[in-house]
């Protein structure tokens, strides 16, 4: 009731179209949500980017859409972590519906470096993973870390992206993850370089199955 009362005094607007939100809408109006370009939920990332060492994959949206780009920009660069919570729930529902037979043991968010974490106040992939965890009932485990300060992947071509992440990640977990099924969670998959490097590092240390869940694929 209190929420409904506040919405009358301070009406919320959609982050895409700026239209007034109804009481049952959150952050985005239903119309704009329905217009976001969803991928086939059994989307095979391997065909798009050449990642070879994974078990299963899911990408919720196509990134090359002006509204999708706008929302992810707000999540990553404008401090709107609530979008990560919103989309994490949607990603979790998609995983629950389409990958429920995979029996994941842990969710592994892709880390960002400390400078970016301090600047943003959060790691968007971790926020996504936490919400996915609530939906599919699989714990989050921070086992990956950045080894050094990373140059941004933005505006780099595919070759430069692969070159830029060489030696970037390390595995820091004290857990024995042998024979576990890990689900790597990230925001946007472009060249596949970041996730491929994460997979290689995990497989270098453990005998594991690894799958991929991303919010959007470019």
Question: Any idea what the Cα angle at residue 216 is, between residues 187 and 13, rounded to 5°?
Answer: 85
Average pLDDT of the segment spanning 2-15: 62
Cβ(99)–Cβ(58) below 8 Å = yes
Q: What is the mean pLDDT of residues 100-109?
A: 93
Q: What is the pLDDT of residue 168?
A: 84
Domain 37-217, CATH among 3.40.50.720, 3.40.50.2020, 3.40.50.150, 3.40.50.620: 3.40.50.2020
Reported as a pLDDT band with limits 50, 70 and 90, residue 5 is very low
How much is the pLDDT for 2? Answer: 44
Question: Would you place residue 12 in the very low, low, confident or very high pLDDT band (cuts 50, 70, 90)?
Answer: confident
Measured in Å, how far apart are the chain's first and last C-alpha atoms? 41
Cβ atoms 146, 112 nearer than 8 A: yes
Burial label for 54, CB within 10 Å (0-12, 13-18, 19+), is buried
What pTM was computed for the model? 0.86
Q: pLDDT tier at 3 (50, 70, 90 boundaries)?
A: very low
The answer to whether the Cα torsion of 192, 195, 197, 202 is positive or negative is negative
Query: What are the sequence ranges of the domains in the chain?
Result: 37-217
C-alpha angle with apex 210: 209 to 212, nearest 5 degrees?
Answer: 155
Considering only residues 3 and 39, tell me which one the structure prediction assigns the higher pLDDT.
39
Q: Which of 36-40, 54-58, 77-81, 105-109 has the lowest mean pLDDT?
A: 36-40
């Amino acid at each position: 009731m209190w929420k409904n009362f506040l919405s009358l005094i301070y009406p919320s607007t959609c982050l895409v179209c700026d239209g007034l939100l109804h009481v049952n809408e959150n952050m985005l109006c239903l119309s704009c949500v329905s217009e976001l370009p969803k991928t086939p939920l059994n989307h095979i990332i391997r065909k798009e980017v050449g990642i070879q060492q994974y078990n299963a994959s899911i990408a919720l949206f196509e990134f090359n859409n002006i509204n999708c780009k706008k929302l992810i920009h707000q999540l990553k660069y404008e401090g709107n972590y609530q979008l990560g919570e919103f989309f994490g729930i949607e990603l979790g529902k998609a995983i629950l519906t389409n990958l429920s037979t995979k029996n994941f043991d842990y969710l592994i968010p892709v880390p960002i470096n400390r400078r970016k974490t301090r600047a943003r106040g959060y790691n968007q992939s971790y926020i996504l993973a936490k919400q996915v965890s609530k939906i599919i009932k699989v714990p989050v485990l921070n086992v990956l870390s950045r080894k050094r300060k990373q140059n941004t992947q933005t505006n780099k071509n595919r070759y430069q992206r692969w070159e830029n992440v060489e030696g970037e990640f390390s595995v820091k977990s004290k857990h024995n993850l042998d024979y576990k099924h890990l689900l790597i969670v990230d925001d946007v998959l472009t060249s596949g370089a970041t996730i491929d490097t994460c997979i290689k590092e995990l497989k270098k240390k453990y005998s594991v199955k690894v799958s991929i869940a991303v919010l959007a694929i470019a």
